[in-house]
Structure formats: structure tokens, C-alpha cells
Amino acid sequence: MTVTLPDIEAAAARLAGHAVETPLIESPALNERLGRRVLIKPETLQRVGAFKFRGAYNRLAQLSSQQAQAGVVAYSSGNHAQGVALAARLLGMPALILMPSDAPTVKIEATRGYGAEVQLYDRLTQSREALAATVAAERGAVIVPSFDDPDIIAGQGTIGLELIRQAGARGAELDVVVAPIGGGGLMAGLSTAVKALSPATAIVGVEPEGFDDTLRSLQKDERINIKPTTRSLCDALESPAPGELTFPVLQKTVADVAVVSDAEVAEAMRYAFAVLKLVVEPGGAVGLAALLGGKVKFGKEGATGLVLSGGNVDPELFAQVLRREI
């Protein structure tokens, strides 16, 4: 199923009054460093501290009363978990979230805090898909995917609607938009909206080293499932392959994919904290890391749109980053 601009506009109508329309902010210091205008979309200020609330609420808001009564089940390392948990609470339905036992404690605690039941699993020995299928069968619950779902993609696409409208209100034409890629839900929705409203804008995705599955897939023109040999600082972006629904969209819309190291991500987190005065989690900072590292190609004219996708970083990890221990 293809997600269209009308789907994203319908999602925006459902989200109105529930999701935060995050602002578009600008830093003279960042503009000066990069030699161009950068308009920042801080989804760190979204409900649950990440963009994931948009897609989760759009998906859950369309469940039937019978489905809502049985509830939902989802699996996530954190931000999707919190998005589904809060959306379920707001819509009055039960939610069970499967989370890896090594997920950041701050994300596990926050998910429970939003009222969801949390079940931990071992990501190395257990299949989250199989666990979710078992729970869904036992409870009659609806599985809510983290990215490979039309309603999730449409919900995330509302960021693109806001970005283009807000940039226009500032008299800016976006030459390029930079955003993270994990499974591709954010990028598929965002790029669909942006390309529909501003066809000349180039879309650049950013992935962490060791998890550049989308880049490899685009190069091979087919979905590549990588087998990671290490972990990334960017726990939110450790997807081994782009989604079945998201990948065809990315093939049409994404002009380039940059790859950043953990060291570059840590430096971007420090820059965001010190200069932008924003707390950004590793996965949310990859776009900034790519810009600071000179890894994004620009045209001659126009501004750059940058999505900082989340701010849910473990306090101790963040402290280590600020102390330059990472």
C-alpha cells in the first residue's frame, strides 16, 4: 500500500490537539559554522520526547471499538514503545510492550509510566516478532509495527507537512532535508510529504556505521538484510533491514544516505547540548552529525531542513558523552 499526501493530511487532522506541532528553530552559530541556513525541527519536544508518538496515535486512533477493547501489542527499544503506550492511554485501551532487556532504563521506565504493561526479552536469544504473535493470539490484540505500516508512515509524515509550511512562513526554500533512517518509517513519511509539496528538495538520510542497511539496499536496488557484528551508540537505529513498505518509497525519494560513526554522533550530541541547548539522543543526532562532519552535499541555493528525531537518552550515557568518555 502506497502512502499519499492525502493520507498524511488525514493523519495531521487526527493528530491535531493531541500531538505537539514542534517549532522550527534556527541557530546563528550553526548557520555560521556550516555557511548556510539550517532550519531545525526538534522532535525532542514532541510528546514522549520523540516523533514516534505521531505514527502510534494515528494507527491506534483508527482501531474499531472491539479492537480497542482487546488492546494492542508492540515491540520497541524505546521510542515507539513510549509512543504506543501514551497513545493507548489517551485512547483508553490496554497496551503490552515487548522491550529488549538491554534497552535504556529511562525508556523502559517511561513506557511503564505511560501505563503500558512491559515485558522484557533477550534480543539475542528471543524473537520479538514471535513473542508479539503469541501475545496477540492469546489476547486478540492488534500488533502495532514500529515502522512498516501505512498508518505509522502517514503519522510520521506529518513532520514533513509542518516542516514545509513552517519553512515557507520563514521565507525559506529547502534545498535539502536531512533526517535519520532506521527501519524507514520516519523517512518514508517525511520524504513523501516533502517531495509532494516541494519536489525540488533533496532528501538525505543518515545511518550509523554498522547499520547502513538502507544505503546498501539502495546501492543494490533490493532490500539487504545485514548481520551486525557490533552494537551502535544509536540504539534507536539498529534496524537490520529497511521495511517492505518503506523501502520502495525510499528508492523513489531519497537522493543520498550518509553514514556516521559513534564518535561523530557523540560530538553532535555535545554540540546540540552546548550550542543549541537541546538534549538529543544518539539516534536523533545523526543528521546533525552528518552536517557537522561535512557529509551532506548541498546545492547552491536554499536552506537545509534538519530533523532531530528524539531526546530520550539514558542520563548516565549522556553524562559519559558530555565528559568525552564516549
pLDDT by residue (tens digit) across 223-271?
Answer: 999 988 888 999 899 889 999 999 999 999 999 999 999 999 999 999 9
Q: Are residues 168 and 109 in the same domain?
A: no
Listed residues 124, 143, 162: the one ending a domain: 143
d(CA 160, CA 43): 12
Q: Are residues 193 and 277 in the same domain?
A: yes
Q: Of these residues, 27, 41, 52, 146, which one is catalytic?
A: 52
Task: Quote the domain boundaries for residue 289.
Answer: 5-51+149-322
pTM over 0.75: yes
- CA 297 to each of CA 152, 219, 268, 283: distance values in angstroms, whole numbers, following the listed order: 29, 18, 18, 21
277 assigned to active site: no
pLDDT by residue (tens digit) across 276-293?
Answer: 999 999 999 999 999 999
Q: Is residue 41 predicted with pLDDT exceeding 90?
A: yes
Q: Are residues 35 and 95 in the same domain?
A: no
Burial (Cβ within 10 Å: 0-12, 13-18, ≥19) of residue 295? middle
Listed residues 122, 143, 164: the one ending a domain: 143
Is there a contact between 58 and 15 (Cβ–Cβ < 8 Å)? yes
Indicate the number of domains in the chain.
2
Tell which phi-psi region holds residue 312, choosing left (phi > 0), alpha (psi between -120 and 50) or beta: beta
27 assigned to active site: no
Listed residues 143, 176, 201: the one ending a domain: 143
Using alpha carbons only, give the angle 95, 97, 98 rounded to the nearest 5 degrees. Answer: 155
Domain holding 33: CATH number?
3.40.50.1100
Q: Are residues 199 and 276 in the same domain?
A: yes
Q: Are residues 134 and 245 in the same domain?
A: no
Q: Are residues 115 and 158 in the same domain?
A: no
d(CA 122, CA 142): 22
CB atoms within 10 A of CB 293: 18
- Whole-number pLDDT of residue 107: 82
Q: Sheet harboring 95-100: ordered strands across? A: 117-121, 95-100, 72-75, 142-143
Q: Of these residues, 27, 191, 217, 309, which one is catalytic?
A: 309
Identify each DSSP E strand in 122-221 by its residue range.
Answer: 142-143, 174-180, 202-208
Is there a contact between 220 and 154 (Cβ–Cβ < 8 Å)? no
CB atoms within 10 A of CB 91: 15
- Reported as a pLDDT band with limits 50, 70 and 90, residue 298 is confident
- CA 116 to each of CA 45, 60, 102: distance values in angstroms, whole numbers, following the listed order: 21, 14, 18
Q: Is residue 119 predicted with pLDDT exceeding 90?
A: yes
